[in-house]
Amino acid sequence: MNLQSSSSSIPRSAGETPPVEQVDLRREFAEVGIGEVLDQLDGELIGLKPVKTRIREIASLLLIERIRKRMNLTSGVPTLHMSFTGNPGTGKTTVALRIASILHKLGFVRRGQVVSVTRDELVGQYIGHTAPKTKEILKKAMGGVLFIDEAYYLHRPDNERDYGQEAIEILLQVMESQREDLVVILAGYGDRMDKFFASNPGFRSRIAHHIDFPDYSEDELLAIAELMLCDMNYRFSSDARQAFIRYIGLRKSQPLFSNARSIRNALDRMRLRQANRLVADLDRVLTADDIMSLEAPDVLASRVFSKNSSG
């Protein structure tokens, strides 16, 4: 009796690869190493709650999909093409880069490179120029992620002979027929992407994940600024910090505000002013602390404040 049961279990474990029946989810999770990527995403990207939730969902789905494959529960390769919509500077490109590494760790793209292109690199200048150009980019992106920034430029509704349409057709064809070879991510500003999808329904239906990037709140913008400064080995003095909070409030209400990108530019200008302030007094002995800290005058010299007071 005893012998029988043990002998029946032996060929099973010694066989080639029988379908797994039990899976330790925690071990599986750790093995794949997406935990770190997701934590990194949480730590380094501030705000973007809906985006992070969606990425977690996708990551979980892919993890389960991997396990299902090992259990011989076949299901087709999930469609992973995505579209990122949101205002300027909300982190679409940054997230695209992270997505590529998540997909790579989970084994849904083989190489994990990101090829980032815009209209210029896909659409040619004369008849017969577009197809080879688009194909060349597609070939480079095979096994990785093709990130098309400002994708709505591909379609020019005012010019029906525009070569963009040809690029769109090739893209659609490859997105459908080589789903397991590459993932296409389209990105652009919300309203214009809606128009783009409206005129190219084929795209909308071939993209499974539409992710909307919300604007940052003022607190999040401050946190972003401090993270950026920390990366550049700078810091705000407490006065400067207060001034910068006021700066964000004012800048946000002005036109052409592009979230994190505006913050980055503001910080760059503040660094210029700080350097100028330090150089102005050549007799002074500088400490590391002086060089690292941005003071209130560096912030307050911004045009944003003067405009507000004058007008």
Task: Give the interface with another protein as residue ranges (CB under 8 A).
Answer: 110-111, 113, 132, 135-136, 138-140, 142-144, 174, 178, 181-182
Q: Which segments of the chain are extended strands (E)?
A: 82-86, 114-117, 145-148, 183-188, 209-213, 235-236, 293-294
Query: Residue 233 carries which DSSP code?
Result: T
> CA 184, 221, 231 angle in degrees (round to 5)?
80
* CB 95 to another protein: min, Å: 21
Tell me the HSE value of 106 on the side-chain side, using a 13 A CA sphere.
29
Nearer to another protein, 103 or 294 (CB): 103
* CB 69 to another protein: min, Å: 19
Nearer to another protein, 170 or 266 (CB): 170
Q: What size, in residues, is the chain?
A: 311
Sign of the CA dihedral running 68, 73, 74, 75: negative
Angle between helix 259-280 and helix 238-253 axes, rounded to 10 deg: 140
Nearer to another protein, 171 or 243 (CB): 171
* CB 181 to another protein: min, Å: 4
Nearer to another protein, 113 or 308 (CB): 113
User: Which tokens belong to 200?
Assistant: 């190219």
* CB 298 to another protein: min, Å: 43
* CB 138 to another protein: min, Å: 7
Nearer to another protein, 179 or 261 (CB): 179
Beta pairing partners, 145: 114, 183
